[in-house]
Chains A and B, each alone.
Chain A
Amino acid sequence: METVGLGKRYGRKQALSDCTLSIPPGRIVGLVGPNGAGKSTLLGMACGLIRPTTGSISVLGGRPGSSVEQLTKVGFVAQDTPVYAGLSVADHLRLGARLNPGWDPELAQRRIEQVGLDPQQKAGRLSGGQRAQLALTIAAAKRPELMIFDEPVASLDPLARRSFLRNLLEFVAELDVSVVLSSHVLSDLEQVCDYLVILVDSRVQLAGEVDELLAVHYRLSGGRSDFDALPPTIEVIQAEHTSLHSTVIVRSTVPIPPSFPGAEAVTLEQMALAYLTRAAELPGTGYSAKALEAQR
């Protein structure tokens, strides 16, 4: 997925601005950000539901939603996992079979049985979790090369959430697809994704391979004065001070100087939280993806 200067404006509200990303194929991409950050807008543009106002986007080498081939390659599960209330589960599978040349009926059948959906049940009477499973099944059985999930677990209870994500991982392993999924809950994505994009206030704050990102971020602790004279190679992302003690998340491409004996590796959650907090504290000064690329 490649985007260049991508932006979307709804009336006077800028939903996404100057988004430049280059995500290699074969990843499980986590898109994290608070509500209203522009996650749905970005994903909507990736599957062709939403047209960009500025910039361009290409997914798997094509313009999203532009042709049957492109539609065949991308599977999308929308935020509230919409289904036709009046159609049964079996009708939905038939819909998938009729509308998708690459439909995998065995996979669809197996999945429905696995998650215990009654084929005769009207989709309008399914629980949120069951509906999400049905939407996931339809998106998967069309055998896309890329699956996009917009907040797939937002409306699910913790148990359904876990089983949905577990199912998702099984799928990815079985079908060999790339995945992009968004969430405002970090812990949802922590176990699944190997590529992270952080989006706050319509701007990309951070984007990169999880391993590479974790390798250049550290958590330092010490007295407050210890942080007054950091070398320019170390960028402070977020600092927390108490009267005696400070904890600072930093990004550094060179090894941390020995004056910080307490330097530790960060977890994905700590790192992401640091970026989210920074963006929240300084509204409108978020880093563009380009600036981040340059820093790397």
Chain B
Amino acid sequence: MIWLTWRQARAQTLIAVGILTALAIYVVILGLGIQDYYDSNIVGCAADNSCQTATELFRDKYQGSAALTGALLLAIPALIGIFWGAPLITRELETGTHKLVWNQSVTRTRWLATKLIIIALISLVLTAAFSFLLTWAVDPVDKLIGSRFAAMTFDSRDIVPLAYAVFAFALGTTVGMLIRRTLPAMAVTLAIFAIVQIVTPNLVRPHLMSPITTNVAFTKEIAQSIDGIGSKGGPQNGDSEPVGVSGYNKPGAWILSEPLNALINADGSAFTRADMKACMTGDFEKDLVCLASKNLHFSITYHPASRYWPFQWIETSIFLALALGLAGASLVRIRRIS
């Protein structure tokens, strides 16, 4: 059965290896370029005070490519689900070859189990190779300017893509078995997987662990680092409108309480537009000192940087478990096909 599985999967595996090798070469070149630029321009930039310019240039040069290759890695599980998972059973049913193979001295359950295990392993190895390579290549970009928790980044680094690949494959197989026709099965697999890819980062991932809420003192340094302060409504809302901080960045952390974190006075009352106007003199430096002297603070809800790996493991486990559940369901279901 292993022989047959490999014989049938050989062509598609070789095609995938070919495409991924080409991509891998690109990623290696990209990674070497990033590493080289990082070592020569970013490391030690503090010495000649060129950090900001160097980082800007770094961003212009590599952020696009990093995002693009990340998107390609996101597409791999989807492609595996569509082209390997969905047709796994439907192709046999459509060509009638299930009548041939299910009448050899191998039960359907073993036939499907072998196929699921071997092709899942192939998916795992290919995705792992690409994911680890990409994680290495764009590591400086992630560290310097990206957020490792950003939806697209988190999904396309380290071990999470492996679980997605296995999940998408099991999903495609199950959908194929239920729908029994290749093209509709492919479409439905893609639709479900896309929904999962949208729902997971937005609705599931923030709750994998309970977020931390903490108060941040509004110091002059913080005032300089943020994008700005402002209110939700426009000026027409009047002076009593509360004012908040936007663009606060805690290195490596995933801040959930965006986009505006309300500023609070030392006595616990809301800092309003009127309070802010009192500090506005037109001289930016003086304004900052004035605001900082008011002992303001704001509250943020976030996941600290140290949770990156726990989150990777939790999400990986969830999708591997879902894949196992789907595989188990198809193994039970395959006996009932007639």
Contacts and interface: CB of A to CB of B under 8 A. Distances in A.
Interface of A: 44, 47-51, 65, 67-68, 71-72, 74-76, 78, 80, 82-87, 91, 94-96, 98-102, 135, 138-139, 142
Contact of B103 (A47, A84, A85, A86): A47
A162 B280 CA distance: 102
Nearest to A98: B3
B336 interface: yes
Interface string B92-115: 000111111111111110000000
Q: Which 3 A-B pairs have the closest CB atoms?
A: A82-B96, A99-B104, A78-B99
B338 A87 contact: no
Contacts of B96: 78, 80, 82
A101 B105 CA distance: 7
Given A49-B99, A51-B336, A99-B1, A71 B7 contact: no
Given A71-B106, A101-B105, A82 B100 contact: yes
A83 B104 contact: no
Contacts, number: 75
B1 A83 contact: no
Nearest to A71: B105
Given A51-B336, A83-B97, A75 B103 contact: yes
B111 to A, nearest CB: 9
Nearest to B96: A82
Contact of A95 (B11, B102, B104): B104
Nearest to B100: A82
A14 to B, nearest CB: 15
7 contacts: A49-B102, A49-B103, A68-B107, A87-B8, A95-B101, A102-B105, A138-B100
Contacts of B104: 71, 95-96, 99-100, 142
A100 B1 contact: no
A48 B97 CA distance: 15
Given A78-B100, A95-B104, A102-B105, 13 more contacts: A48-B102, A49-B99, A49-B338, A68-B106, A71-B107, A76-B99, A78-B96, A82-B100, A83-B100, A84-B95, A99-B101, A99-B105, A100-B104
Nearest to A72: B105
Contacts of A72: 105
Interface string B1-41: 10110011001000000000000000000000000000000
A295 B100 CA distance: 40
Contacts of B105: 68, 71-72, 99-102, 142
B9 to A, nearest CB: 11
A100 B105 CA distance: 5
Nearest to A85: B95
A80 B97 CA distance: 10
Nearest to B10: A86
A95 B111 CA distance: 12
Contacts of B108: 65
A110 to B, nearest CB: 20
Contacts of A80: 96
Nearest to A73: B105
Nearest to A135: B100
A6 to B, nearest CB: 13
Contacts of A135: 100
B46 to A, nearest CB: 61
A86 B104 CA distance: 19
